Amino acid sequence: MASSLFIFFLSLFHPLSVLSATVLEDLATLTPPPDFTTTITTNCLRNPLLRYCNSTSSSSSSPMNIAEIFRYTIVASHLCNESKNPNCVDDSFPKIRIHSRPKTAALYLSFDFFWKYCPLTVLEIELVNNSLKSEFPTNVLSCAQVRTLDLSHNQLSGSVPVQILSGLTNLTHLNLSYNRFSISDSEFLKRFNASSFLHSGLLPDAKRHKTKVLVLLIVFLIVVVLLCCCLGWLCLKRPDYLPRTCRRRSHKFTSAMLDAATDEFSDQRLVSKRDGVDIYRGTLRDGREAKIEVYTEKVSKAKRREFEEECEAVLKLRHKNLVRVLGWCNSRNLRALVTEWTNGENVETWLSSSSASSWRRRLRVVMGVVEGVSYLSEQWPEITFDLDTSSVLLSGDGPEPLISQFKIGDGNSSSTNIFTFGLFLLEMITSLKPDEVQEDSAMRYLEYIRVHCPGNVERVVDEKMKIEERTLEKVKEAITLGLMCTDGTPLKQQSFTQIYDMVVSLYESSSRHH
Ligand SMILES: *[C@@H]1O[C@H](CO)[C@@H](O)[C@H](O)[C@H]1NC(C)=O
Ligand SMILES: *[C@@H]1O[C@H](CO)[C@@H](O)[C@H](O)[C@H]1NC(C)=O
Ligand SMILES: *[C@@H]1O[C@H](CO)[C@@H](O)[C@H](O)[C@H]1NC(C)=O
Ligand SMILES: *[C@@H]1O[C@H](CO)[C@@H](O)[C@H](O)[C@H]1NC(C)=O
Ligand SMILES: *[C@@H]1O[C@H](CO)[C@@H](O)[C@H](O)[C@H]1NC(C)=O
Ligand SMILES: *[C@@H]1O[C@H](CO)[C@@H](O)[C@H](O)[C@H]1NC(C)=O
């Protein structure tokens, strides 16, 4: 066998001993010598296994492709030299070895006719580190007798032709490491150990897998931390963005929330400005409108704690005649009380309009106020209220009055409360207010009414009501009640329960006359 191969190469390469430097030049210029056909015919007779001899088989009618076989001998001779085989003229040719020469490797791989007739002597093929970017070079596998195939350090991709590879029975050393094949779990791969497929993409990469898991874990942790930060920020600044069930104290407003509700306390949102209190009309995140009373006075820590307690108390008020408190803000830079927004006008404005022309309707308002006030003085004696006609609001068609300003722990005794109510009642009848600018104005105001009562009552009663003779008696009764409340001597004062009964009976009698 060895001697016959020896003869093959000797005779084959002999006429080509005048090769030039590049394979491409030779392929372009050289032509088969006259005795070339005879040479290969002789070779095939000696060794029918030679791959190019197959094309002359008796069953095939096509003649041997002499030109192609000649080209093959040129490439074989060059490749032998490129692969640094010791003797390319008169010895066999055992290895194809191109390392780190991308252009050369790609060129030789492109000679399909060479690989088709791959010399039988080649036992080792190494095409390492050549940046090959194609799919697996299957033409190489025509060299079915190889024992070593090393394609490591390239960028080969796609799947590996495991079926053809499993047919290479003599293949004992395979290296596909450092490529980009797609993963495969073929039985064939088990013939080799894992060092044949390092970073080849073929096997699940344990290390990369671990790294991936680690990276995922870190990303997950970062996400969790970020989420916690966001949540923490929301809890501190904008709890109104949290679902209702997650909010610990839905009546706590932060300054950021009120900022957002009032367009950063813009002038357009400012409704009124009084000493120490700015009132804004705000829109909460859930769409509700709210009245936001901002207390501008700077106060001590102790006062702030007191304010907090007041708010806690006021929050629990539940009565149809008391404005509903939604919550408050008590931060270092902002103290505010948030109540529901009522569209209705206040009693003061109402009194000056034509809709206040009915005695009965006025009594209806007074009745609502007494109801609210009774509830407060019975259930929440520590809470006092402001019954100024400008702070009592009207809502609905009733109209139903809403007491909208409370204070806590100011030490208002029940006598002060009753005095306040007395003044309110008198205002409801006369449509006149004590002049707030003047000192001692309430006393003068009461004095003025007392002078005309009971003899000259028509002078003080609001003309808009057009009181008839029969009703006048009742109006007189009402004025007397108001004056009694403001009498100043606590003993004579009524309790709100009594007052309520009296107002109800006045209201009922007014219905009989209409
Ligand atoms: C000859 O070629 C045919 C197909 O063309 C193939 O089946 C056969 O195995 C080849 N024989 C040799 C000796 O290479
Ligand atoms: C053979 O290879 C050497 C370098 O390895 C080169 O200098 C020489 O030109 C080559 N010969 C042929 C005929 O290709
Ligand atoms: C691959 O070839 C490049 C140069 O083409 C060389 O710098 C690098 O060291 C080689 N890598 C290996 C693993 O042989
Ligand atoms: C494998 O090697 C043996 C011994 O060297 C040889 O007889 C056989 O033909 C080879 N197989 C192939 C497919 O080349
Ligand atoms: C893998 O096979 C090579 C030779 O084929 C050997 O040198 C190496 O020790 C083997 N590695 C393992 C982990 O078995
Ligand atoms: C395959 O090649 C890589 C890189 O050159 C090397 O680390 C590995 O040991 C080789 N494996 C075998 C089986 O030769």
**Spatial distance between the Cα atoms of 69 and 149, rounded to a whole number of angstroms:** 25
172, 189, 190, 193: which to mutate for ligand 5, most atoms within 8 A of CB? 193
Q: Ligand 6 centre and the CA of 127: distance in Å? A: 13
Give the residue from 61, 72, 57 showing the smallest Cα distance to 8.
72
**Spatial distance between the Cα atoms of 183 and 134, rounded to a whole number of angstroms:** 16
380 or 161: which carries more pLDDT confidence? 161
The pLDDT of residue 224: 96
Q: Ligand 4 centre and the CA of 139: distance in Å? A: 19
**Spatial distance between the Cα atoms of 58 and 425, rounded to a whole number of angstroms:** 131
The pLDDT of residue 127: 96
The pLDDT of residue 1: 36
pLDDT above 90: residue 475: no
Q: Ligand 1 centre and the CA of 28: distance in Å? A: 29
Q: Ligand 5 centre and the CA of 175: distance in Å? A: 11
Give the residue from 95, 104, 145 showing the smallest Cα distance to 125.
95
The pLDDT of residue 136: 95
**Spatial distance between the Cα atoms of 453 and 473, rounded to a whole number of angstroms:** 12
384 or 76: which carries more pLDDT confidence? 76
pLDDT above 60: residue 338: yes
Ligand 1-lining residues (CB < 6 angstroms): 49, 51, 54
Q: Ligand 4 centre and the CA of 160: distance in Å? A: 23
pLDDT 10s digits, 82-126 = 999 887 865 578 999 999 999 999 999 999 999 999 999 999 999
Give the residue from 149, 121, 139, 108 showing the smallest Cα distance to 49.
121
The pLDDT of residue 49: 82
Q: Calculate the average pLDDT of the chain.
A: 83
The pLDDT of residue 344: 76
Atom of ligand 1 nearest to the CA of 54: 1
Note the ligand closest to the C-alpha atom of 24: 2
The pLDDT of residue 192: 92
Atom of ligand 2 nearest to the CA of 84: 5
2-16, 142-156, 194-208, 238-252: least confidently modelled range: 2-16
399: preceding bond cis by omega (within 30 degrees)? yes
The CATH class given to the 250-341 domain equals alpha beta
- CB proximity list for 446: less than 8 A, separation 6 or greater: 423, 426, 483, 486
At residue 409 the predicted structure's pLDDT band, cuts being 50, 70 and 90, is low
Note the ligand closest to the C-alpha atom of 167: 4
431 or 106: which carries more pLDDT confidence? 106
pLDDT above 90: residue 393: no
Specify the residue with its C-alpha closest to ligand 3, atom 14. 129
Contact between 371 and 402 under an 8 Å Cβ cutoff? The reply is: no
User: Quick one: average pLDDT of 167-193?
Assistant: 91
pLDDT above 70: residue 274: yes
The pLDDT of residue 474: 85
DSSP code at position 233: H
At residue 12 the predicted structure's pLDDT band, cuts being 50, 70 and 90, is low
Give the residue from 364, 363, 383, 359 showing the smallest Cα distance to 373.
383
At residue 320 the predicted structure's pLDDT band, cuts being 50, 70 and 90, is confident
Atom of ligand 1 nearest to the CA of 48: 13
> 343-514: CATH homologous superfamily?
Transferase(Phosphotransferase) domain 1 (1.10.510.10)
The pLDDT of residue 153: 96
Query: Per residue in 419-447, is it b (16+ CB within 10 Å) or e — as a string?
Result: bbbbbbbbbbbbbebbeeeeeeebeebbe
Q: Ligand 4 centre and the CA of 10: distance in Å? A: 23
Specify the residue with its C-alpha closest to ligand 4, atom 14. 145
pLDDT 10s digits, 28-41 = 988 888 888 888 88
Note the ligand closest to the C-alpha atom of 143: 4
User: Quick one: average pLDDT of 264-282?
Assistant: 87
Atom of ligand 3 nearest to the CA of 129: 1
Atom of ligand 1 nearest to the CA of 51: 14
Residue with tokens 């680690």: 214
At residue 492 the predicted structure's pLDDT band, cuts being 50, 70 and 90, is low
pLDDT above 80: residue 208: no
Same topology, domains 250-341 and 343-514? Answer is no
pLDDT above 70: residue 13: no
pLDDT above 70: residue 411: no
298 or 131: which carries more pLDDT confidence? 131
pLDDT 10s digits, 341-367 = 887 788 888 888 877 778 888 888 899
At residue 408 the predicted structure's pLDDT band, cuts being 50, 70 and 90, is low
The pLDDT of residue 10: 41
